[in-house]
Structure 1
Amino acid sequence: MMFTRTLIATAVLSTISSIASAQTSDPVVPKVVVTANPFKTAEGDQILTPAKVLAGDELRDKMGSSLGDTLSQELGVSASAFGAGASRPIIRGMEGARVKMLENGMAVSDVSGLSNDHAVAAEGAVARQIEILRGPAALLYGSGAIGGLVNVVNERIPTALEKQLTGQIEARYSSVDSGKNLSGTVDGAAGQFALHVDGNLRNADDYKIPETRIANDPASGSGRLAHSATRERNVGAGTSYIADWGFVGASVSHLDNMYGIPSAEGSKIDQKQTRYDVDSLVHKPFSGFETFKFKAGYTTYEHAELDESNAPVVIFNNRSLETRAELAHEPIAGMHGTFGFQTENTHFSALSPDGAADTVPVTHSTSTAGFLVEEAKVGAVLLSAGGRVESVKRKPVTGQDRSFNLNSGSLGALWTFTPGYGAGATFSYSERAPATEELYSGGPHDATVTFDVGNPDFKKEASRNVELSLEKNTGLVRWKANAYRNKVRDFIYGHITGRLLDEEGNPGDELRERIFEQAKATIKGAEAEITYNAQGSGWSGRFFADTSKGKLDGAGSLPLQPATRVGASVGYREGALRGGLSLVHANGQDRLASFETTPTGSYNQLNANFSYTQRLGSQDLTWFVLAKNLLNEDIRMSTSVLKDIAPLPGRNFVLGVRAKF
């Protein structure tokens, strides 16, 4: 422990030392535009739409086998950590359907929000950038995005004409799981037509764990975590016609993913998705309007949960058609904003192929929504407001139909009290309709070893959130601090009762009964970050801390709450060389729900990166080494359902090469 404490102290002191020597001028670096923000501002430009964008070298360094793994060390973000194949982002203690997953601004339309064992059907390896967004802008994408949204941007439908063939190809090998990953993107043009192709191949064996599978239990096994192997095939292509007036385009992609569930039962999930997208933008469509956008996406999704003999136990299906239309108007009386409409039509089911009880019956859901987001500058104060009205209907083939009318709104103000410094406050009210599985579940879920029971009489969730922020957003030294409190009426959660049932719901010893219930909940927390020269040449540094606590009013903690964390990093880049070291310390987590039994211990996660770029003709060839969990610590995430039996991977070295042309 003395060694790890010394490492933490060294990293923190190095960061503070770097910051102390900072100049006041801004580093000259290109700004990354947040595409999910309707005002298309750059990351950190304003406080009312808190955003983080992973792009470029930072994205490549943090890339993991899942979206949750990739984002798990961002401010306020943790991960569900359900093995190597399935790990979904958790934002400020909010998970599942309360965190919206997007691909190029459209819903991913998988079933990852239903359960932690379901992987997100969006691939980060071919992404240009990944955006994390909260605040009023989230209302453009769904009333239920209480926690925020994550947008994976791969620009599969191109929006610009490349003068020559461009792209990148990357190959990497990981030691902890003998993993091999090959990914690439290519963009080109033929006349007024832009073309794009991308793909990703991943194969990884069961990964090595630092100690025993169950903490302090030699009989539970060690070495490699059984049933943690992954295999993925992902390919996409798109084209668009681009002219002075805007563009119109289409794309198609297919995902084929097989990954293990590291539970005692040894389940696997065979996941497949095909999606078709249309996107268009028209500049100056009418007098008084800046742009008109129309998007449509059709998705067919299926995954089968397989037992040890590869026989399907439950088959999940989701067919979804989504449309979006947005109009951005020119400033009117100082107000600038976007309004539009969104529709969604889905058929979802989770059926048993062998005559056992169906987990979720075939259910047809429709959603129709209208939204508006506006900004206005009044002196030194920037005002932002958003509103959304939505009608949701759910019609199962068996059971009662339900309809929900949802009203959501947000209001924020940012006061720039001196150049480069801002103080802000945001108030929001959001309503969420219960998801299909929360209403109609009534069968076994093999991967989580549960028998799920929904309630068709559930009320809609209603969330009231207040957030206070303080920020310095110019200069080499930048910092921000946020504090928030979220009161949720009729919060829906899964309660493990302690009863054991068979696959028909009768008393047995196979499955744990999980009943969806509602109660009042409060989630509050704080987060802070200070950075020095985040993207410029020379030395850089970062220090962050975040904490979040969720409670059921009068009934203890919410389940699977994130641990309090502090982290520090130092980096250096000059010419062809770049390197860095980061350390995250997480406190032990003993704030448990009434039905949880095992706290998680504290841990220190030490990572490093080094790369060298050489110029070969018109290509940049980057050789890189990434080191993860260098201390080989036994890391168990408090946010993981499998925390008792599935630690994170041990020490891992990733070797790779990336060619840009």
Structure 2
Amino acid sequence: MQFQRSTMARAVLLACVAYAQSAHTVHAADALPEVVVTTSPLAGSAGEQILTPARVVSGDELRDRQAATLGETLSHELGVSGSAFGAGASRPIIRGLDGARVKMLQNGMSLSDVSTLSNDHAVATETATARQIEILRGPAALLYGSGAIGGLVNVINDRIPTSLAPAPTGEAEVRYGSVDQSKSLSLSLDGAAGAVGLHVDGDVRNAIDYRIPGNAVQDDPASASGRLPNSFARQNNVGFGLSTVQSWGYIGASASTLDKRYGIPTEEQAQIDMHQNRYDIDGLVRKPFAGVESVRLRMGYTDYRHDELDAEGVPQTNFKNRALETRLELTHERLAGWRGTLGMQANNERFSALAADGSGATVPATRSNTVAGFLVEEKDVGPVRLSAGARLESVKREPDNLRDRRFNLGSGSIGGLWAFQPGYGLGLTGSLAQRAPSTEELYSRGPHEATGTYDIGDQDFARETSRNLELSLQKTDGLVRWKANLFYNRVKNFVYGDITGAQVDASGTAGGEFNERIFRQGDATIRGAEAEISYNPRGAGWSGRVFADTSRGTLENAGNLPLQPASRAGVDVNYRQGPWRGSMTVLRALRQDRLAVFETSATPAYTQLDASVAYTQSLGRYDVTWFLIGRNLLNQDIRYSTSVLKDEVPQPGRNLIVGVRTAF
């Protein structure tokens, strides 16, 4: 199917550009505002999130790091790497944990895509129109799912307005990338008509196969060079939202559609053609009765599908997921010193991965029903801030013609922060989290074209139980700030994919082109450390950051966990004064040779140098920012140890991105 921009998307883009002509803006102040973590039950600032280590990427920093995928956008964050399955799909990996153990949210609601199933599946959200991206771990993560052992990532685009803009505001951007001749256009617009808030956003991106520094397969001069075959990516996305905003709160709805088509740069030359429609409702009532700060009800319906195509564009497997999520949250005022949020959540999904010719199923059609109740609380006791969370959850999976499974899950987290000096904090958090095996881990039995594997699940899997301990030390005030985290995670019945070395055909018979991958369970340990020190992080003039992270995952009596991230260290140097802004980042990743028993090659070390410069000028009644971003300026052959394609798919070579952005 030829990828084209929709008529609706064109209309939205033209309307928003015209709207900008009447908009008014002023230069931002030199001091950056403190950002708020919306996924925190108490909506505290990022600097206050010590028990729930948080990172919020927003503003100019988000635009400088913006990439085609969510994983690539966040890949330089502390403890975060990307799965890197070509240019079209890269999912965040947090502390060596990926898949269902890292929950993906959009505006606080589950994305309900199928990116948890396999690394070749893209995350169904967009960074180009995001206002901020939040990374969260700890007790607050229990509001969103027991399985978020690694944490969660929340992409905020404010598609449903929660306040009224006093004047029309928005942002539009166009950029071009040299490495893949990518052309992208994005915009967002907010306004109001009386008591009704209005929002529209959209983006379009087209990129051809990207250039690589050497050969696709390392030390193989016979493999592809120049441009990496089948590494193209094309997409468009458009969303609308409106709400009525009153003194008592707000209620609104939104609708969006996302289309994406991208290649899998392997020998099989598979492609993925993805489409998602999404509808959300969000309502909040402030102080509905005594003792309650707010009550919030949210509902989201997702209709997702993607087809995996062979090299000729013929569909091989059809993936579908239809999901309805409902969340009710009540935030209460202080009660015996405690303040927090309690609520209920229900999810209903129907997922399937069926052969396009009707010959069978990689994963049979399966209905999954989840009901959960949760509570997250916080209290100050002298210089100590206590934080606690609990979640009870019931999960039922009902596949066609196979055995039903039901899992009762209980998760909890408790921690304390001791403010032993003003601006300093020492925190200790312990948690227990349980996860139900996913549909594909239980019921897979068939070929997966894009990964070249024949997946086999196990209907007898037990629930996964994680016990985590984390020690944090931070300085959060002053020109110089720093933090350090140590973590230890012990997981019982950890589910992982074991590539056995056998070759089978599409029916599972020996002698075919698919690698047999059997899902297994074993006890695992993940441990690691993170640290960073920053200077003048939010002020004008010079600023900088030095950071490092490392983690290691092992299976009991079975060696290392597969696809573990490399240990890394880096330096950021930034300058911001008046209309000028610039940055430079050097990231050094060490050789990763801690291999699982079925992994055959170590991942070489690399040094990645990125830089950017931007200038903002006033043109009439709005500001225009011209920017130049350079990525992998040393043109290094970069391969991620977290990618199953590391041996045959390097990351893009030197890339110069030029663009212009207007904020109004």
Q: TM-score, normalised by structure 1?
A: 0.96
2:506–2:512 contact (8 Å) kept in structure 1: no
Structure 1 match to 2:149: 146
Supply the AA of the counterpart residue of 2:581: R
Partners of 2:79 and 2:95 within 8 A in 1: yes
Partner SS, residue 342 of structure 1:
strand
Task: Answer yes or no: is 1:362 the counterpart of 2:372.
Answer: no
In 2, Cα distance between equivalents of 1:147 and 1:391: 20
Give the structure 2 partner of residue 538 of structure 1: 541
Q: Within 5 Å, which residues of 2 pair with 1:297-316?
A: 297-316=300-319
For residues 256 and 312 of structure 2, the distance between their equivalents in structure 1, rounded to whole angstroms, comes to 30
For residues 54 and 264 of structure 2, the distance between their equivalents in structure 1, rounded to whole angstroms, comes to 32
> Shift of residue 163 of structure 1?
1.5
Match of 2:381 among 378, 381, 384: 378
- What is the alpha-carbon distance in structure 2 between the residues aligned to residue 609 and residue 494 of structure 1? 39
Q: Does 1:255 align with 2:261?
A: no
Aligned-residue CA RMSD in angstroms? 0.7
* 1:201 is aligned to 2:204: yes
Q: Which residue pairs with 2:408 in the alignment?
A: 405
Q: Where does 1:438-477 land on structure 2 (aligned, <5 Å)? A: 438-477=441-480
Note if 1:420 corresponds to 2:426. no
In the alignment, which of 238, 241, 249 is matched to residue 238 of structure 1? 241
For the Cα contact (< 8 Å) 1:624–1:655, is it kept in 2?
yes
Q: Any idea what SS the aligned residue of 2:172 has?
A: strand
How far, CA to CA, are the matches of 2:32 and 2:507 in structure 1? 60
Conservation of the 8 A alpha-carbon contact between 1:577 and 1:613: yes
Give the Cα–Cα distance (whole angstroms) in 2 for the partners of residues 46 and 488 of structure 1: 25
Query: 2:331: which partner in 1?
Result: 328
1:435-514 mapped onto 2 (5 Å cutoff): 435-514=438-517
Q: State the alpha-carbon separation in 1 of the partners of residues 146 and 315 from structure 2.
A: 34
What is the Cα deviation at residue 509 of structure 1? 2.5
2: CA distance between counterparts of 1:149 and 1:541?
26
Which residue is equivalent to 1:625? 628
- 1:44, distance to aligned residue in structure 2 (A): 1.7
- How far apart are residue 494 of structure 1 and its match? 0.4
2:436 is the alignment partner of 1:433: yes
Give the conservation status (yes or no) of the 8 Å contact 1:578–1:611.
yes
> Deviations for 1:301-357, whole angstroms, at most 9, x for unmatched residues?
000000011111110000000000000000011100100000000000000012433
CA distance in structure 2 between the partners assigned to 1:407 and 1:46 by the alignment: 24
Aligned to 1:292: 295
2:566 is the alignment partner of 1:557: no
Structure 1 residue 28: Cα displacement? 4.5
Deviations 1:506-531 (A, max 9, x none): 11221000000000000000000111
Q: Does the Cα contact within 8 Å between 1:44 and 1:50 map onto a contact in 2?
A: no
- SS, match of residue 415 in structure 1: strand
Give 1:141 deviation, angstroms. 0.1
Q: Aligned to 2:615, which of 612, 617, 621?
A: 612
- Shift of residue 45, structure 1, vs aligned partner: 1.4
Match of 1:644 in 2: 647
User: TM-score, normalising length from structure 2?
Assistant: 0.95
Equivalent residue for 1:157, pick from 160, 179, 187 = 160
1:57-136 matches, within 5 Å, as: 57-136=60-139
C-alpha distance in 1 between matches for 2:216 and 2:70: 24
Match of 2:342 among 339, 342, 349: 339
Matched-pair contact (CA < 8 Å) for 1:54–1:129: yes
Q: What whole-Å deviation, never above 9, does each CA across 1:383-431 have from its counterpart, x for those lacking one? A: 0000000000000012100000000000000000000000000000000
1:579 aligns with 2:582: yes
- In the TM superposition, residue 542 of structure 1 has moved relative to its aligned partner by 0.4
Give, as a single letter, the amino acid of the residue that structure 2 aligns with 1:398: N
- Say whether the 8 Å CA contact 1:170–1:184 is kept in structure 2: yes
Tell me, yes or no, if structure 1 residue 192 matches structure 2 residue 195: yes
Contact 2:31 2:540 in 1 (8 A): no
1:4 corresponds to: none
> Does the CA contact (< 8 Å) of 1:171 and 1:180 recur in 2?
yes
Contact 1:502 1:509 in 2 (8 A): yes
Once the two structures are TM-superposed, the CA of residue 616 in structure 1 deviates from its matched residue by 1.3
Q: Does the Cα contact within 8 Å between 1:390 and 1:406 map onto a contact in 2?
A: yes
1:214 aligned onto 2:186: no
Equivalent position of 1:30 in the other structure:
33
Aligned to 2:71, the other structure's residue is in SS state helix
